[in-house]
Structure 1
Amino acid sequence: MFSPWYRWSGRKNPEAHCCINVATYGKGGRWTMTDRGQAALRQTPNTFEVGPSKLTWDGGKLYIDVDELAWPHMHRLKGRITVTPSAITDVELPLKADGSHVWRPFAPSSDIEVDLNQPGWQWTGHAYFDSNFGIHALEDDFSYWTWGRFPTRDNGAYCFYDAAVRDGSELAVGLHFGADGTAQVIDAPPRTRFARSKWLVRRETRADPGYRPKQVADMLDAPFYCRSTVRTQVFGEETVGVHEALDLDRFASPLIKPMLAVKVPRRKGWRFDD
């Protein structure tokens, strides 16, 4: 959805603008997101393959095989990420009343195993697996949104989705997911602002009255988007989770697309050998 090449193409053929984006954080962190043509795309019911990288669903696990050049360092990022959900949900959440944008939290609680080709990039831990679908450009339908996913003591998770829709309506959803994949709509605590990002993107999330959320670690900071780990308190439970804030007014600016093109190079001619 952040490919400037797809936008410049007139958004006519999404299969001609496919990417598998991988980002690692901290010291020596790497970023890779190469926009590839339709010849680099192969799909089956259980695989999604773009160029040399692919996602495979097999035996209740998601295998993510990565073989990419990290931009702009041009270092090879290669290895496997294995995601094992504790359960798969049946939840699909329309982000707009007309159903033109949908959030699909496949597995809000998962285990993960990372084995990449850099020292220290081998570890196991906690993860989540979700996806967004839409038939319109995000910046055409939304001006701002935040999303947060916060693990709970019982191996479940709280998820909060808040968005300002350009038709004047607002999305405000709170969900609790159990470790078994069950989902329950909750009356979320109030939206609470906390410190802006380094690029001054406005940030807010849900928190108990009187509690001020705080960034724990910076993950990705861009002029229109911020991803970080954030500490908040929900129904008396303090928790640290992943938080995103997206300023789509900024993203819609024609100045942003050329900046993105530097981070998202286009390789139209890649083809499979077989």
Structure 2
Amino acid sequence: MIAFVGSVFSPYYAWKGRRDPEDHVAINVALYSATGPRWAMTERGRASLLRDATTFRVGPSALHWSDAEGLTISFDELSLPFPGAGALPRRIAGTIRLKPDAVTGEVFDIDAAGRHRWWPIAPSARIEMEVARGGASWAGHGYLDSNWGTEGLEAGFRRWDWARGRLGDGRTAILYDATCRAGGRRELALSIGPDGTIDRRALPAAAPLGRGLWGVERFLHADAPQEARIARSLEDGPFYTRAVVDSRVWGEPMRGLHESFSGDRFARNLVKLMLPFRMPRRAG
């Protein structure tokens, strides 16, 4: 689940010169279940937006924060078909409740100029998901973060790899490795305790995971290359991949979520022309 204001992946926002972020908002829902994947990312305009200190609503879906209850997300969206998962759009609806184990207070610069910032709000959390339509309900372990910036991702980065997972000792590992457009790399490796304490660690060596079907390079940082592998591929697109991965980090086994992003590919006009098929825009 991703909530966007001035969606970084929106071709409509890019074509308008990224001048009015609140006219380009979306709530992205991606469900992966035994009955098949479901994906919804409908962009809407400012007439569909309600936003204040605790609530972010876009059309029929909303996020609400309470210091006592944590984050509650209600969604009711039209999912677009995945290749091989059926030809007709389907509705997905439900409620997510996320209760952080702790909330951190440190924000990090991802690039050298400070134009792209990241806050690991709740590195570990308890989550309950009640799905009314389009998938299965479940409860387990969750995560919450936030990113924001003053320029497009493709302007700041040539590529990056990111991974987050639980370690065997109960801590959370978050690994960033970004190649900046201006030159150089930004590396960030954090070990975060259940109480929210953040320790910086050395970033393990990069292990190649092979290219995705669209050719996007993927690397996972792990203690040894043979200990890094993809357990399940979730997204494989022309500029972005997402997968469940297994590895060992700082001597601890880790199952986590991994993402690779190619800013070089995303910068191509042809790629942006492909995005409306996965990200339609509704008026209002």
TM-score by structure 2 length? 0.91
User: Which structure 1 segments of 5+ residues have no match?
Assistant: 270-274
Q: Which residue of 1 aligns with 2:258?
A: 243
CA distance in 1, matches of 2:57, 2:224: 46
TM-aligned CA deviation for residue 85 of structure 1: 0.7
Aligned-pair identity in percent equals 41
C-alpha contact 1:211 1:233 (8 A) present in aligned 2: no
**Deviation string for 1:39-97 (max 9, x for gaps)?**
11111111111111100012241000001111243311111011111000112110122
- Quick one: higher RCO (CA 8 Å, sep 6+), 1 or 2? 1
**What residue identity is the alignment partner of 1:254?**
N
TM-aligned CA deviation for residue 260 of structure 1: 0.5
SS in 1 for 2:25: coil
Q: Which residue of 1 aligns with 2:55?
A: 47
Q: Which residue of 1 aligns with 2:269?
A: 254
Q: Which residue of 2 aligns with 1:138?
A: 153
Q: How does 1:85-164 map to 2 (within 5 A)?
A: 85-118=100-133, 121-164=136-179
**What residue identity is the alignment partner of 1:56?**
H
Q: Which residue of 2 aligns with 1:222?
A: 237
CA distance in 2, matches of 1:118, 1:173: 38
Instruction: Check if 1:20 corresponds to 2:27.
Output: yes
CA distance in 2, matches of 1:155, 1:129: 17
Q: Which residue of 1 aligns with 2:12?
A: 5
Instruction: Check if 1:62 corresponds to 2:71.
Output: yes
CA distance in 2, matches of 1:175, 1:150: 11
**What residue identity is the alignment partner of 2:218?**
R
**What residue identity is the alignment partner of 2:240?**
Y
CA distance in 1, matches of 2:128, 2:106: 25
CA distance in 2, matches of 1:236, 1:153: 9
CA distance in 1, matches of 2:42, 2:134: 24
TM-aligned CA deviation for residue 154 of structure 1: 3.2
TM-aligned CA deviation for residue 155 of structure 1: 2.6
RMSD: 1.3
> Structure 1 pair 119/30, CA: closer, same or farther in 2 (3 Å)?
closer
**What residue identity is the alignment partner of 2:282?**
R
**What residue identity is the alignment partner of 1:17?**
H
Q: In terms of mean alpha carbon deviation, does 205-214 or 143-152 score higher?
A: 205-214
> Structure 1 pair 221/121, CA: closer, same or farther in 2 (3 Å)?
same
TM-aligned CA deviation for residue 211 of structure 1: 3.4
SS in 1 for 2:269: coil
CA distance in 1, matches of 2:135, 2:224: 39
SS in 2 for 1:257: helix
**Deviation string for 1:241-270 (max 9, x for gaps)?**
00000011111111111211111111122x
**Deviation string for 1:8-49 (max 9, x for gaps)?**
111110000000000012442111111100111111111111
CA distance in 2, matches of 1:98, 1:147: 19
TM-aligned CA deviation for residue 200 of structure 1: 2.2
CA distance in 1, matches of 2:171, 2:213: 31
Q: How does 1:158-177 map to 2 (within 5 A)?
A: 158-177=173-192
User: Which structure 2 segments of 5+ residues have no match?
Assistant: 1-7, 82-87
Instruction: Check if 1:189 corresponds to 2:197.
Output: no
TM-aligned CA deviation for residue 120 of structure 1: 5.1
CA distance in 1, matches of 2:214, 2:258: 16
